[in-house]
Structure 1
Amino acid sequence: MTHLVNLQQHRIRSASINDLEAIVSLDMDSNPHPWGENLIKDALATRQNWVIESCDEQGSINISAWLTASMLFEQSELELIVVDRFFRRQGLARKLMTHWFDAIKRQNMGREQPVSECLLEVRESNLGAITLYKSLGFELMGRRKNYYQSEQGNEAALLFNLTISYQGERP
Structure 2
Amino acid sequence: MSARADVLWRVRRMRPRDVPAVVAIEHSAYDFPWSERIFRDCLRVGYRAWVVQHARAAIAGYALASIAVGEAHLLNLCVAEHARGQGAAACLLEAVIAQAERESAAELLLEVRPSNRAARRLYVRYGFETRGRRPNYYPCRDGREDALLLSKVIGH
Contact 2:100/2:108 (CA < 8 Å) preserved in 1? no
Number of matched pairs: 151
Mark the CA change 1:10 to 1:41 in structure 2 (over 3 Å): closer, same or farther: same
Distance in 2 (alpha carbons) for counterparts of 1:148 and 1:105: 28
Contact 1:31/1:82 (CA < 8 Å) preserved in 2? no
1:85 paired residue among 73, 81, 87: 81
Secondary structure of 2:18's counterpart equals helix
Higher relative contact order (CA 8 A, sep 6+): 2
Larger Rg: 1
Contact 2:11/2:52 (CA < 8 Å) preserved in 1? yes
- Tell me the TM-score normalized by structure 1: 0.81
Deviation at 1:9, TM superposition (A): 4.3
5+ long unaligned stretches in structure 2: none
Mark the CA change 1:165 to 1:54 in structure 2 (over 3 Å): closer, same or farther: closer
Deviation at 1:40, TM superposition (A): 0.9
Would you tell me which structure has more helix in proportion to its own residues? 2
Distance in 2 (alpha carbons) for counterparts of 1:93 and 1:12: 10
Give the residue type in structure 1 aligned to 2:95: H
Contact 2:65/2:74 (CA < 8 Å) preserved in 1? yes
1:132 paired residue among 88, 102, 122: 122
Aligned-pair Cα RMSD in Å: 1.8
- Tell me the TM-score normalized by structure 2: 0.88
Aligned-pair identity (%):
33
Deviation at 1:101, TM superposition (A): 1.4
